[in-house]
């Protein structure tokens, strides 16, 4: 006999579950707790199965009957309603996941997992947020085609930023490869874009390497009449030859004046490895003279507008321009080229030079060797000899390079 709403409402719980049939395989199961569940009993492929139609009274008698008829239509077609429901559920989950896994969402997830120096992380974020996220950030990452990605990259290329377009392609590829590993996409579309972008012109950081001209540059720095903090940075740049970002973000807490050592933490290094800079007597003099001006704060070279921020990245280059050196002649990064060129020509150990420049080592055995105390002693000797050599160049006249073998 078919059920009625009145009979369903009056159905009281018993000590054990019991069923009230509505016909066509559908019944109401009344539980000891008082809960009432709509079920459909059916057979498919010779097997008896159960199909949940909902909970009363959320699902009314009329709605449960409608569900029964829809399930029976599927059975007539040979389709298992339980399997059909699971497939529909899976499809909905995939749509939701696809909406959540946009290129920007996956890109930010990837960035959060990277253990790189702060300067590298900032550059990556700038490229993604400025150029790629506005173009394809809202798109499901699994739907982005090579042509769609290429269109975003060519917009960068058309603005004349060839190097940025190249780097954006590299970052996109890293995000897609991460997505492949996470099961969010099947392939990396950047693999089919090989050769699709114009190659950027090779650029080298301008630097003066002729000893006579280096002496002229050092004398020009001595005559700089700008801010004393900027002058100190200009004087230190050739002596320590770290990267410009590492110099301007130097913190007093990293510098041991008594131990004559600057310990740069890994998060501020390009290669994400701690770096030691032995401090020559000349460097210690500059730092001790600067300490009364900035020593109470965090940064050795604080910004002019706010001591809570480091010196601007353009300060040293702007100072060089004031001294009359164009961007094609000399840059802040060029002090590294001066040191690398002259130290190699002077005969210093190439490994010591590379380690002091904080370049990555491809040979792990050699890298382990370069961390020994004996090797650090050699770098200390080299840095003091380099400072003495620069003093001699600044003084003018004929300079005899220090011989690391004879002293």
pLDDT in tens, 281-311: 999 999 999 999 999 999 999 988 888 899 9
Tokens encoding 68: 């029964």
Q: Give the count of beta carbons closer than 10 Å to the beta carbon of residue 403.
A: 11
- The predicted model scores a pTM of 0.54
**What tens digit of pLDDT does each residue of 246-260 get?**
999 999 999 999 999
Q: Which class for 98: exposed (0-12), middle (13-18), buried (19 or more C-beta within 10 A)?
A: middle
Strand 261-264 vs strand 255-256: parallel, antiparallel, or unpaired?
antiparallel
Dist. CA 131–CA 176, nearest whole Å: 16
Other beta carbons less than 10 A from residue 217's beta carbon: 26
The reported pLDDT for the residue numbered 401 is: 55
Asked if the model's pLDDT at residue 200 lies above 80, the reply is no
CA dihedral 5, 7, 9, 10 (to 10 degrees): 160
Q: What is the SS3 assignment for 157?
A: helix
Residue-level pLDDT at 61:
94
Task: With beta carbons less than 8 A apart as the criterion, state whether 388 and 285 touch.
Answer: no
Residue pair 250/299 in contact (Cβ under 8 Å)? The answer is: yes
Q: Length of the chain, please?
A: 407
Distance (Å, rounded) from C-alpha 172 to C-alpha 164? 12
Q: What is the pLDDT of residue 363?
A: 46
- What is the side-by-side order of every strand in the sheet holding 36-44? 18-23, 26-30, 36-44, 47-56
Enumerate the active-site residues: 243, 270, 333, 336, 359, 369
* pLDDT, averaged across the chain: 87
pLDDT tens track for 59-81:
999 999 999 999 999 999 999 99
How much of the chain, in percent, has pLDDT values that exceed 70?
89
Residues 6 or more apart whose Cβ sits within 8 Å of residue 403: 346, 347
Please give the radius of gyration of the chain, using alpha carbons only, rounded to the nearest integer.
35
């Amino acid at each position: 006999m078919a059920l009625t709403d009145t009979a369903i409402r009056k159905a009281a719980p018993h000590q054990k579950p019991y069923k009230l049939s509505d016909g066509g395989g559908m019944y109401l199961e009344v539980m000891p707790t008082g809960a009432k569940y709509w079920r459909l009993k059916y057979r498919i492929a010779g097997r008896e199965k159960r199909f949940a139609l909902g909970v009363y009274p959320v699902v009314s008698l009329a709605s449960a009957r409608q569900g029964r008829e829809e399930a029976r239509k599927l059975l007539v077609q040979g389709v298992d309603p339980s399997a059909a429901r699971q497939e529909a559920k899976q499809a909905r989950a995939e749509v939701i996941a696809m909406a959540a896994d946009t290129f920007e969402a996956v890109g930010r997830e990837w960035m959060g997992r990277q253990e790189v120096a702060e300067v590298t992380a900032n550059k990556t974020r700038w490229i993604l947020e400025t150029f790629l996220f506005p173009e394809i950030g809202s798109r499901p990452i699994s739907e982005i085609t090579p042509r769609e990605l290429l269109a975003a990259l060519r917009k960068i290329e058309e603005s004349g930023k060839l190097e940025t377009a190249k780097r954006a392609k590299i970052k996109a590829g890293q995000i897609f490869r991460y997505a492949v590993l996470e099961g969010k996409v099947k392939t990396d579309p950047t693999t089919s874009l090989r050769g699709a972008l114009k190659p950027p012109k090779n650029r080298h950081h301008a630097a003066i390497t002729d000893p006579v001209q280096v002496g002229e540059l050092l004398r020009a720095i001595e005559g700089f009449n700008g801010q004393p903090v900027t002058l100190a940075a200009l004087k230190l740049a050739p002596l320590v030859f770290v990267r410009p970002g590492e110099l301007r973000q130097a913190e007093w807490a990293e510098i041991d004046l008594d131990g004559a050592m600057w310990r740069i933490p890994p998060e501020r290094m390009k290669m994400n490895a701690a770096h030691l800079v032995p401090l020559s007597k000349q460097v210690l003099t500059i730092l001790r003279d600067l300490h009364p001006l900035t020593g109470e704060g965090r940064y050795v070279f604080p910004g002019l507008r706010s001591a809570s921020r480091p010196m601007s990245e353009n300060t040293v280059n702007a100072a060089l321009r004031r001294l009359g050196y164009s961007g094609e002649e000399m840059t802040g990064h060029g002090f590294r080229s001066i040191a690398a060129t002259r130290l190699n020509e002077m005969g210093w150990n190439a490994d010591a030079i590379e380690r002091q420049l904080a370049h990555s080592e491809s040979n792990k055995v050699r890298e382990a060797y370069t961390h020994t105390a004996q090797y650090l002693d050699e770098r200390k000797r080299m840095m003091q000899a380099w400072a003495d050599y620069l003093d001699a160049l600044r003084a003018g006249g004929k300079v005899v390079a220090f011989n690391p073998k004879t002293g």
